[in-house]
A = this chain, B = another copy of it.
Amino acid sequence: MRSETKDKIAELATELVQQVGYPSLSYQQISSQLGMKNAAVHYHFPSKEDLGLDVVRRDHEVFTKFAASVQGKGHTEQLDAFLSLYQQYLENGNRICMIGASASDYKQLPDSMRQEAAAYLTEVTGWFTRVLEAGKADGAFHFKGSAAGKAALMTSALAGALQHARLIGNDHYLAVVAQLKLELKP
């Protein structure tokens, strides 16, 4: 019987980080929202760094499993699957992605979280690069320059679009996605 409470804390903390950021994440908010005491959260995650690191790690794992789950599928299909993953954040309370949240909170992050977030972003851009590269080879995608450059552009555009959508509405995100897909057409 593994710790359900720890999972619940991590899940809520994940949502809160995507909503308000790591610095504004508080033990009080977590404990009250889960109907427990402050110290109970500290029991599972002694320090805030422990909690924050676990949050980023879990989100990283979600992506890794996602990448494995779409492996072998068509390149357009893989891209669409990623886009709908991000779109869920938008529709679920205008969250931003974990990488974007980590990057904007960067200066307040402990080193362990910085490194984990960097590894996460490196893996995502790597995945994008491979999908784009392969998609170009089999004629599914078209773009100028290197796959790595295009991947860098796309990841940053999507992260930025999620954030900008908060300010000027979800249509902005949809417009960015539409433009990206349009430009990838052969």
Q: Is A53 an interface residue (CB 8 A)?
A: no
* Selected interface stretch from A3-11, A77-85, A101-109: A101-109
Interface centre among A144, A145, A175, A180 (most CB of B within 10 A): A175
A163 touches B159 (CB 8 A): yes
Contacts of A23 in B (CB 8 A): 20-21, 23-24
* Selected interface stretch from A43-51, A133-141, A148-156: A148-156
Contacts of A143 in B (CB 8 A): 183
A172 touches B144 (CB 8 A): no
Bound CA span A152–B175, Å = 7
Contacting residues of chain A (134-186) with chain B, CB-CB under 8 angstroms: 143-145, 148-150, 152-153, 155-161, 163-164, 166-168, 172, 175-176, 178-180, 182-183, 185
* Selected interface stretch from A29-37, A67-75, A115-123: A115-123
Mask of A57-68 contacts with B, CB within 8 angstroms, 1/0: 000000000000
Known: A21-B23, A23-B24. A164 touches B108 (CB 8 A): no
Q: Select from chain B the residue with minimum beta-carbon distance to A183.
A: B144
Q: Select from chain B the residue with minimum beta-carbon distance to A106.
A: B166
Bound CA span A39–B73, Å = 61
Interface centre among A99, A107, A117, A148 (most CB of B within 10 A): A107
Contacts of A178 in B (CB 8 A): 145, 149
Q: Select from chain B the residue with minimum beta-carbon distance to A103.
A: B163
Q: Is A41 an interface residue (CB 8 A)?
A: no
Nearest CB in chain B: distance from A135 CB, A: 16
Contacts of A121 in B (CB 8 A): 164, 167-168
Bound CA span A31–B91, Å = 40
Bound CA span A167–B182, Å = 29
Which residue of B101, B106, B149, B176 is within 8 Å of A153 (Cβ)? Answer: B176
